[in-house]
A and B are shown apart, each in its own frame.
Chain A
């Protein structure tokens, strides 16, 4: 690297929260003009580290040196003044304000100290958006009306509206489609060419290969490797550093004989106008069927429509010969459907409640007589279900918010196991789940299928669909473009199908 002193040096950063040491003596060194990638599983300490860097958390111990001088980042404003900007994963924009107002929020150009110079703010916003390659975004639009990708651009414009030397990006590509990711990378390239340093956080190793210069790997609050060359370090080594083992994905074996029973779920011509076209699908007990497709291909919409959470505009869902009332979750649940939704915290879990209450919520009538709960029986049955899925910790009264992502997902699965559901609809079941815990979740899902459940799986990770499902439906723009046994497909083929013929945009 260049002989000049590093732009930023963090050394021995330690930060504890009640009951956990989130960071334990972490070192990080960033040079001007480089893309420094931060890798690590959930809970490895990445978020805490960037919050320290953003001035949002104060470290308990350790030193921060900025451009050769020791500094204390005592508030987000202090960090911003030095030229450190952070783009968080959950965008921190105000939806009811316009693009220009968001970009200048907190440092509006003013006359007499309080009158906002709207025209000036607009003009500088236009310039920033142009620099980011998105001149088409109108600075007067309300941010709430923009797509996720455009919101991210606004967030970036906001970061650049300050004199910035270092930008932290927390999983910026998570919500983006491939061509939008390309634009993001072009922006990152422009920034570094201007000498701005980028600290880039991502789970996707291939992205890090494409744009990263160096990699720092965090594990359990420690930096297990600092400043590895991003392009040359073998994947195997990086994964080994992150997980402490040498496997990335381990999928359970498929049953030798495909099931030959009658289908339990029949979907006939199911459609929702503007979201997905008529779909036919049959699902047998013991079978895992995967839906592969990009964000916006209608995957989640299909699951939610089958489940009745959205009302279909055509077609029917038949479970065991019985046609479900469209748009009725209760009918679907009664017929034996269960959904593990994509947004676990927002759509499935009662975060303030115990594991037991979360697991039993769909089967309460089984433990009650005249509305009176038999809490002993309830806890026992819930625990049987959670134990079968080896949910940790094995404590039925633990608040569900204290569980890890993988165990929270198990709590959702246990809910449907307890209910005795026959068809399980899984929407991104491993989102927010550690790589290490994924393998276990995969084997749980396979075991449930082996025990006679029919599983419909949606995932944006193609290897996951291919590794776990028996049969795969490839979706593009709300239409099934290909159906094949998973073993006849590979990742490239699926990606081709997913992208093929999509209109250039």
Chain B
């Protein structure tokens, strides 16, 4: 079932006059109720943060911190959103981030400097995505199982490479990227990468045949196949894309922490899935937005920050996260049934 049970609708109930869409109306149509409610939640959180910790919360450093932390998981979430829209799931994102980050920070790789680290992180991410994609698209494995296997073996391989040790980065260019000196107009480069990934992801989903095919495969794979879409190849590309995003995220994490660790990206899969879901992506596929997912990430990061500033325990924070997921889904079901 891809749709919640809803009463039958008449064909004529929503016929609008079919004149050319005015620019204003098309903007209004795009910023739907869902996006507005997410923006509302974010605004409320900012208000709460501002009231409880008026000095520290709205401080430039703190805002930069929130956005920087959001960048890593945000890039992963963009890839995850595509996968979920296509009706799949990628449980291996955290493991891929870990594996890519340790592979890119081995002594051998670091000899090639900045380019070596970046290139390795991206290639390892894409290679893992390729394996996922081949297993799912051509090996006809269920995405849950295939990516679960990747999760296990990816983490294992990461542990084997590092032997459990933290691999410090010695390449200056990489370390510098995380420092205040490289901020552009006050914006950390990591955040710029996140912004770029978001914009490219949005364009890819909404303006290209790739995006349209992803939605079609997720909405109705059989219909997509009978319409002449190469469903398998599309699936392969989607997991490759998710792997690529993990590779980029791994690089961002290396910059952020100045190291590579096999414990990196722990539970990223859950955070990314949760962010996509509260952003309005249907877990069964066929519907979802990049905007929603990114807002989902920002909401989570803001909550985390507020809790930290107010010295609340991680435990409380996790309970709050869970409650927000439930609340978001309930609200969405409500709005879906009234529109």
Contacts and interface: CB of A to CB of B under 8 A. Distances in A.
Interface stretch (A178-186, A311-319, A400-408, A444-452): A400-408
B9 A402 contact: yes
A352 B287 contact: yes
A17 interface: yes
Interface in A413-451: 415
B334 interface: no
A415 B11 contact: no
Interface in A317-339: 329-330, 332-334, 339
B12 A350 contact: no
B223 A349 contact: yes
Contacts of A348: 223, 226-227
A106 interface: no
Interface string B203-230: 0000111101101100110111111111
Interface residues of A, number: 49
A19 to B, nearest CB: 4
A347 interface: yes
Contacts of B16: 393, 395, 397-398
Interface in A55-71: none
B10 interface: yes
B13 A368 contact: no
Given A329-B228, A365-B209, A372-B207, A19 B13 contact: yes
B8 interface: yes
A392 B11 contact: yes
A307 B338 CA distance: 40
Interface residues on B, range: 35 or more
B94 interface: no
B226 A351 contact: no
Contacts of A332: 228
B8 A48 contact: yes
A361 interface: yes
A339 B16 CA distance: 30
Interface in B1-56: 2-3, 7-16, 18, 21
Interface string A359-387: 00110110010011101000000010000
Contact of B209 (A47, A329, A368, A407): A368
B22 to A, nearest CB: 13
A43 B208 contact: no
Contacts of B7: 17-18, 20, 22
B14 A398 contact: yes
Contacts of B208: 368, 371-373
Given A309-B225, A368-B208, A415-B227, A351 B220 contact: yes
A171 to B, nearest CB: 16
B141 to A, nearest CB: 21
A404 B11 contact: yes
Interface string B136-148: 0000000000000
Given A20-B9, A48-B8, A350 B229 contact: no
A309 B11 CA distance: 31
B11 A402 contact: yes
Contact of A395 (B2, B18, B222, B286): B18
A351 B18 contact: no
A448 B39 CA distance: 49
A216 interface: no
A353 B9 CA distance: 16
Contacts of A293: none
A350 B226 contact: no
Given A333-B227, A364-B209, 19 more contacts: A18-B13, A18-B338, A48-B8, A309-B225, A347-B222, A350-B224, A352-B3, A353-B286, A357-B215, A361-B212, A361-B216, A361-B229, A362-B229, A383-B18, A393-B11, A393-B14, A395-B16, A396-B18, A401-B3
Interface of A: 17-20, 22, 43, 47-48, 307, 309, 329-330, 332-334, 339, 341, 346-353, 357, 361-362, 364-365, 368, 371-373, 375, 383, 392-398, 401-404, 407, 415
